[in-house]
Structure 1
């Protein structure tokens, strides 16, 4: 099995589409860091002067009409309480303009790095999916898989070695790109004086997030390779993935908000961020009418991990059963 795995790993690395996909991921990583550089820049002198002017204008308006604005807000708040019978807070006491509302400042690296890692994670996951899918689907569609079985007829060994090669093969590239993202974000933030607040705990959290991304990339590559065995064409695998995202993740989720804990994308976010939240529109009806409000729900890391691992296991098992019984010609 070890020798077979090494052969499959060499075959994976030699595929042209894998090289092109890796090059594309490098370009996207550069674009991600360029966007981070733009968002980290301080306001220019002209932008700061304009923001200061707008703040002074809002401040002058508040000094002239602030009492009237506050009284109207409190009256509307009280009317809403009487109408709905529920506690309502319009934030009337926080209406006074504050200078920080107008003067934009970039967040420190300890606050922005988790978002940068999450943004880079999805392009790395797509890279892993594309590599795994083309590795097995292309061989099935061209007939080279049939030829390979004449040298190694034990199908499950072939199946396992290919999935393992896909999972392991994506790790070096994804690890290097994650390192580039972290190092690049640190360098950019440091050039603007935003990296000084990073503590050992912050770096430990970033390392843990990177580790979870790497593990998920390996799982995604193996699942995509299994789908390649099932569908036998790279275009078919990508078509199914795009269809799932459009129909289920986007359209269906918009109509069935309570279905969100079972969305793949939501659980991927829960895995990467070690737990996440989502919002559900909750409506209540009484004698005064119907009141709807968005309620925040939590999605635990354990739920996301179990969901993704069970889903991956089912797809890998389905691919093994089909490949063992189906004619590969």
Structure 2
């Protein structure tokens, strides 16, 4: 049996892999079920009811405003006048302030809402890929299986590279299959509990490209988990780094940056770079600055994190972690 076939069989047959993939799928299924149950198809009856509710609230607001104006006028010249605006300048509500859309139940518009679901899908599968990738190589280091494998195939770089290739291939297949089901499932939700009217060829292309970026994120997460566990020669190394980065570095750094009034603190936080990668950009605003505009007044200074920046950061992370794993595999003793 070839090394790649042996590693593929090992990856697929591992109970740890099956468990975490199943957990990820259950989480995604719960999200899809929640969206299905919380959204409704807009029907003429729902529109009529929302219009009636908006009109009723408008009339109630008009009556309430008229009552307040009468009380204000009656209080003029008394101590109670200070409880009302000067000269009883109270604006009347307008019908435009009561849009019937605000009184309708939530509905799932595929074009507007599905990108958020792609972000959720990418986050869940990236977490699964990271943990499975870390365990896939970490368990062999901690159990001594790596040493036994190298006795059979004494080519360090080939062995580690094959393991990483098998992991990434498995993550690709899983992401593509689940992504196809995810898209079809939410398209069904939009058809039955929302709308697909605004879907054009350009919209489908945008969604397809976003899903490809989600695939790249999942593969990066798997590679980082694999590389960190290989460097530390234990699954706990990758898990410890993840906890440290998420809990200590990100939240702690956010607090420090906030106290120091650092401009654009999002530049130092990974979630905003991930958002920029998936959604093509993230606009950070410095509310402590003011760029005067003749038409818009005082506008905060902005800095845009583009998907190209985020992609470069991802490539750099991959090169450092996976490259470090390959270097340690070649230089360190296998003991």
TM-score by length of 1: 0.80
Query: Are the structure 2 counterparts of residues 20 and 125 from structure 1 closer, same or farther at C-alpha, using a change threshold of 3 Å?
Result: same
Partner of 2:75: none
Q: Is the 1:33–1:185 Cα contact (8 Å) retained in structure 2?
A: yes
Name the CA distance, whole Å, in 1 between partners of 2:328 and 2:131: 21
Deviates more, 1:257-266 or 1:306-315: 257-266
**Max radius of gyration: which structure?**
2
- Cα RMSD for the two superposed structures: 3.2
Deviates more, 1:33-42 or 1:310-319: 33-42
3-state secondary structure, aligned to 2:230 = helix
Query: Are the structure 2 counterparts of residues 99 and 170 from structure 1 closer, same or farther at C-alpha, using a change threshold of 3 Å?
Result: same
1:265-276 equivalence runs, <5 A:
265-276=271-282
Q: Is the 2:24–2:124 Cα contact (8 Å) retained in structure 1?
A: yes
1:132-281 equivalence runs, <5 A:
132-256=133-257, 258-281=264-287
Query: Are the structure 2 counterparts of residues 58 and 102 from structure 1 closer, same or farther at C-alpha, using a change threshold of 3 Å?
Result: farther
TM-superposed CA distance for 1:30, in Å, is 0.5
Q: Is the 1:109–1:194 Cα contact (8 Å) retained in structure 2?
A: yes
How many corresponding residue pairs?
299
Q: Is the 1:32–1:120 Cα contact (8 Å) retained in structure 2?
A: no
TM-superposed CA distance for 1:62, in Å, is 5.0
Partner of 2:294: none
Name the CA distance, whole Å, in 1 between partners of 2:114 and 2:123: 15
Structure 2 residue 20 is matched with structure 1 residue 17: no
Query: Are the structure 2 counterparts of residues 294 and 19 from structure 1 closer, same or farther at C-alpha, using a change threshold of 3 Å?
Result: farther
Name the CA distance, whole Å, in 1 between partners of 2:314 and 2:157: 23
Deviations 1:88-147 (A, max 9, x none): xxxxx9996222474144352110111111111100110111111110001101110111
Partner of 1:57: 60
4+ aligned runs moved over 6 Å, structure 1:
49-52, 63-66, 93-96
Name the CA distance, whole Å, in 1 between partners of 2:66 and 2:310: 51
Partner of 2:79: none
TM-superposed CA distance for 1:217, in Å, is 1.4
Partner of 2:313: 307
Deviations 1:240-267 (A, max 9, x none): 1022011222231243253422432222
Partner of 1:127: 128
Name the CA distance, whole Å, in 2 between partners of 1:247 and 1:122: 20
Partner of 2:293: none
Partner of 1:321: 327
Q: Is the 1:52–1:103 Cα contact (8 Å) retained in structure 2?
A: no
